[in-house]
A and B are shown apart, each in its own frame.
Chain A
Amino acid sequence: MLKITDLHASINGTEILKGLNLEIKAGEIHAIMGPNGAGKSTLASVLAGKEDYEVTSGAITFEDQDLLEMSIEERAREGVFLAFQYPVEIPGVSNVNFLKTAMNEIREHKGMPALSAKDFLRLVKEKSALVDLDASLASRAVNEGFSGGEKKRNEIFQMAMLEPKLAVLDETDSGLDIDALRIVAGGVNTLKSANNATLVITHYQRLLDHIIPDFVHVLYDGKIVKTGGKELALELEEKGYDWIKSVE
């Protein structure tokens, strides 16, 4: 589904990713862990197409297409979803209106007719229950006045609505208490299927107690320096990142 080959990317002339390789197949959950400044969030931003980041060399193919050639919205419409570390507030725009616009743009891209109001609302009801999101939040302005936990749950709610092929969760666990963490993880697990894939970017092991990854990668200094199964996360938790640094 996703293949990243020797990816180099920089921001304001500083190279952050220095030859990153990663392959994700449908049905898999991958976790990327690493110390601060390793390039975790950069990777998420590059995948989504954020313009501040410049890809200097390397390739990313997504479903046999050149991802780097696609605009931000094309990537989204093709099924790349980024759950933001810091979801943005959009005052005056209701969550429902926002999602409806997004859904219909994606459907149009796929040659599907717009959803009827009735079908859309049924979907909102069904999917918001998945992350225990209060129905009243759906009619409030996007993320405005939401608590940290509500914002993250809203991201997963949007993910459930848009049904992406590849979901990238950028430090979704940061700022979550244990209950919210469980709800968010539960949502992600329910959405897992043989046709989609998830890339979990996290600093801590605790999210991986709830979302069990098939692969764990350690990102350090812009490269993946170690790959293993879910036990690697536990090992990291125990030994810290210094251990990886010294391995190198």
Chain B
Amino acid sequence: MVELIALNKAEIKYSTVQNWYPGDKEGKGGVFNFVTKRGLCEAHAKISWTQVETGSAVTWKYPSCILKGDYSVGEFFSVAVTNNFQQADTGTKMVHLGKHTKSTIISKGISAGHSQNSYRGLVQIQKQAAHARNFSQCDSLLMGSVSGAHTFPSIECKNASAQIEHEATTSKIGEDQLFYCQQRGISEEKAISLIVNGYCKEVLNQLPMEFAVEAQKLLSISLEGSVG
């Protein structure tokens, strides 16, 4: 359980790289990771959640921001990787209460093996939250033919001056991309790591330096042997 409170003009950046035991190849014995993470923003405050989720058999996690103060800002950057029989159900809640509040959501899901990867999010603009803004981008990358990617975005808007944008893409790691890399002498494993890291770049860029290096390696390890 994590609770953040950002008072007037305060800024909090909370970064997580999660790598709990995901279980064996069948997913047996893995950790269940059910977390509550939430934050409260007073006026002009900013809370930024950045997470890289690679572990656990089952993850349910929705780091949220209550944008109570005027001009407060909430951000959520997420990479969730699932392989074998892992399940990740993760996303965020952005509750806009104050005027001119702003939220950004960038979520990147990567599913391999038999895993299921879901984005579940809520963007809520309350009546008094005039001129609130939200931008959401949810991308899913599928590897192999038996993995699943799902997005469940909920948008509730009670103020007509709000501006809300939602973009979502689902793509498969391209055989053409792999072939191109291999034709330049890059092994398949390295090519996948390169493509996946490129795909997550916007999120990885948000991490502090030492974290980013570790996260990159973790992504490659999590996806090892998942080519199909």
The answer to whether A73 touches B185, judged by C-beta atoms less than 8 angstroms apart, is yes
The answer to whether A90 touches B180, judged by C-beta atoms less than 8 angstroms apart, is yes
- Across the interface, which residues of B come within 8 angstroms of A245, CB to CB? none
- Across the interface, which residues of A come within 8 angstroms of B188, CB to CB? 73
B179 (CB) vs chain A CBs: closest residue: A50
Proximity string of chain A (137-164) to chain B, C-beta cutoff 8 Å, 1 when within and 0 when not: 0000100000000000000001000100
Question: Which residues B108-128 have CB closer than 8 A to chain A?
Answer: none
A105-B186 contact, Cβ under 8 Å, with A84-B180, A87-B180: yes
Complex Cα–Cα for A76 and B179 (A): 11
The answer to whether A91 touches B185, judged by C-beta atoms less than 8 angstroms apart, is no
The answer to whether A109 has its CB under 8 Å from any CB of chain B is yes
The answer to whether B183 touches A93, judged by C-beta atoms less than 8 angstroms apart, is no
Partner of B184, one of A76, A97, A141: A76
Q: Can you list 15 A-B pairs, Cβ within 8 angstroms, ordered by A?
A: A72-B179, A72-B182, A73-B185, A73-B186, A76-B182, A84-B183, A88-B179, A88-B180, A90-B194, A90-B195, A102-B184, A102-B186, A105-B185, A105-B190, A162-B185
Which applies to chain A's interface (DSSP): helix, strand, loop or mixed?
helix
Complex Cα–Cα for A19 and B180 (A): 27
The answer to whether B165 has its CB under 8 Å from any CB of chain A is no
A159 (CB) vs chain B CBs: closest residue: B184
Minimum distance in angstroms from B228 CB to a CB of chain A: 13
The answer to whether B176 has its CB under 8 Å from any CB of chain A is yes
Proximity string of chain A (95-122) to chain B, C-beta cutoff 8 Å, 1 when within and 0 when not: 0011101110110010000000000000
The answer to whether B177 touches A88, judged by C-beta atoms less than 8 angstroms apart, is yes
- Across the interface, which residues of B come within 8 angstroms of A75, CB to CB? 183
Q: Measuring CB to CB, which residues of chain B are less than 8 angstroms from any residue of chain A?
A: 174, 176-177, 179-188, 190, 194-195, 197-202
- Across the interface, which residues of B come within 8 angstroms of A73, CB to CB? 182-183, 185-188
**Chain A count of residues within 8 A CB distance of the other chain:** 31
A93-B185 contact, Cβ under 8 Å, with A88-B174, A88-B177: no
Minimum distance in angstroms from A50 CB to a CB of chain B: 6
13 further interface pairs, Cβ-Cβ under 8 Å (given A99-B184, A105-B190): A48-B179, A49-B183, A84-B180, A88-B177, A91-B198, A92-B197, A92-B200, A93-B194, A98-B181, A102-B186, A105-B186, A105-B187, A106-B185
- Across the interface, which residues of B come within 8 angstroms of A77, CB to CB? 185
Complex Cα–Cα for A92 and B199 (A): 6
The answer to whether B194 touches A76, judged by C-beta atoms less than 8 angstroms apart, is no
- Across the interface, which residues of A come within 8 angstroms of B184, CB to CB? 76, 98-99, 102, 158, 162
- Across the interface, which residues of B come within 8 angstroms of A48, CB to CB? 179, 183
